[in-house]
Amino acid sequence: MTPLLNRLLFALCFVLPSLVSAESQANATEGPLELVRNTADQVLKTVVAQKQTLKQHPGRIYDLVEKGVVPHFNFERMSRLAVGRYWRRATPEQKKQFAEAFKQLLVRTYATALLEYSNQPIRYLPLRPSSRPDEAMVATRVDNGGPLVPINYRLHFENGEWKVYDVIVDGVSLVSNYRGSFASQIRRYGMDGLISRLRKHNHKQSG
């Protein structure tokens, strides 16, 4: 995939499900699929309808992501998986700071990439039963004018709501993709060094 397409497809990670009540846990085999599909329609319609406004005022895309999508991510779990074994060695403050910096990295990268969305059709596959009632995988396929690109969402049900903790784009796990890079940086700079580098990158992107 080209870098632009890669960023665009990863941006679809943010087309995520809204909260569900505890009662819907009994319907876990259908709930996640409907939530992803319904929310995808709403978010992408907003992006398309406001495309010109967003291009003139790109900062507004951050508000759309922060309010409509970020609450439905489990950033603590994503951070723990992305750091791997180094998470256990981190202090509570380091974990908090890393999770916030990691969240900002994702928000800025994917909010910007969402501006490139141009009505690519999305196909939703039937939900497969999971061996665990609190886990689900929602599989989609994106038509980008060539072979369909698979984008699969991993969700976890906890405290009465579904949240996404990983996305697999064309066979590449978002969490695993970062894990190798983060591990290398932690070995070289330490956890504080990784956090500092993430903050500097985020600050540069915001400029």
d(Cα 128, Cα 160) in Å, to the nearest integer? 21
Over the Cα atoms of the chain, what is R_g?
17
- Whether pTM > 0.95 for this model: the answer is no
Q: What angle do CA 120, 125, 128 make, to 5 degrees?
A: 150
pLDDT (0 to 100) of residue 41: 76
> For residue 178, what are its two tokens?
């970062």
CA distance 75 to 81: 10
Q: Which residue has the tokens 């994917």?
A: 110
Residue 199 has a pLDDT of 96
Q: Measured in Å, how far apart are the chain's first and last C-alpha atoms?
A: 27
- The two three-digit tokens of residue 58, written as one number: 């790109």
* Closest listed residue to residue 134, CA positions, set 152, 153, 161: 161
pLDDT score at 18: 33
* Contact between 131 and 147 (Cβ < 8 Å): no
CATH of domain 3-206: 3.10.450.710
Among 100, 109, 82, 78, smallest CA distance to 186 is for 82
- Whose tokens are 């909010």? That residue is 111
Render each residue's pLDDT in the chain as its tens digit; 207 residues.
445 445 545 555 444 433 333 333 434 434 778 777 876 777 788 888 888 898 888 888 888 888 777 877 889 999 999 999 999 999 999 999 999 999 999 888 777 777 777 778 889 998 888 889 899 999 999 887 888 989 898 999 988 888 889 989 889 998 999 999 999 999 999 999 999 999 999 888 765
For 4-36, letters b (16+ CB in 10 Å) and e give: ebebbbbbbbbbbbeebeeebbeebeebbbbbb
What residues does each domain of the chain span? 3-206
pLDDT of residue 102: 95
> What is the predicted pLDDT for the residue at 25?
40
